[in-house]
Amino acid sequence: MRLKDSSADLLRAVGERVGIPWMVAEELVAQRVISYRDAHDSAVAALREVEHHTPWDTSNQLENPDFERIRKYWMKMYGTLAEILPSSPTVMREALFREANVLPPCIKAGKNKTDSRDAVIWLSAVEYAREHPEETIYFISENHRDFTQGNAYPSPMDMDVSDLGDRFEHLTTLAEFVQRFTNPTKANKALS
């Protein structure tokens, strides 16, 4: 998600408290840091190429990459969009256990066991729902492969939410969430 796109604007305008698991924030930030690193590497290579083809000394310099500064900047920016919900040590242990044992949402890809990050995301949302019984939790993910479409979960995911009833709602798009909390308006033709 981009911080300056219509989805982000709608999230801000909905007026509901929005939280994202720490792992989601880390994934979003990591995407930004990786893009920065790749762009920096390309710029360094381009400057070397220019120096290689220039018959005199050049003073082309690029500042050293500051990955931590970029990471902190984007974490702060995503924090303006949503509250970042911490993941407990219990969630982390259970996520690693599920990956080691290939329990959903973790999977086996070839010979590799994977998706502990998805398990952290899922279990953080479930833990938050348990710790806040007065709230309805909307779990939003377009990742149907790991999280399903929300109509049925494989074990042990089904047991994770079995005691939450209708307080844990799984939506498959951000548009569903926005639609649920906004009222459609009609243009006033008299103003046209």
Predicted pLDDT at 180? 82
Residues 69, 92: one domain? no
Instruction: Report DSSP letters for 30-96, one per residue.
Output: HHHHHHHHHHHHHHHHHHHHHHHH-SS------PPP-HHHHHHHHHHHHHHHSEEE---HHHHHHHH
End of a domain among 68, 84, 100?
84
Question: What gap in Å lies between CA 139 and CA 146, rounded to an integer?
Answer: 13
Query: Is residue 167 included in any domain, yes or no?
Result: yes
Total of domains in the chain? 2
- The last residue of one of the domains, among 58, 84, 110, is 84
Residues 93 and 37 in one domain: no
Same domain, 70 and 93: no
75-133, pLDDT tens digit by residue? 999 998 889 999 999 999 999 999 999 999 999 999 999 999 999 999 999 999 999 99
Of the three residues 84, 114, 129, the one that is the final residue of a domain is 84
134 part of a folded domain: yes
What pTM did the predictor assign? 0.84
Same-domain pairing of 6 and 79: yes
Q: Is the same domain home to 51 and 116?
A: no
**Full residue range of the structural domain in which residue 126 is found:** 87-180
Q: Are residues 92 and 46 in the same domain?
A: no
State yes or no: pLDDT of 3 exceeds 70.
no
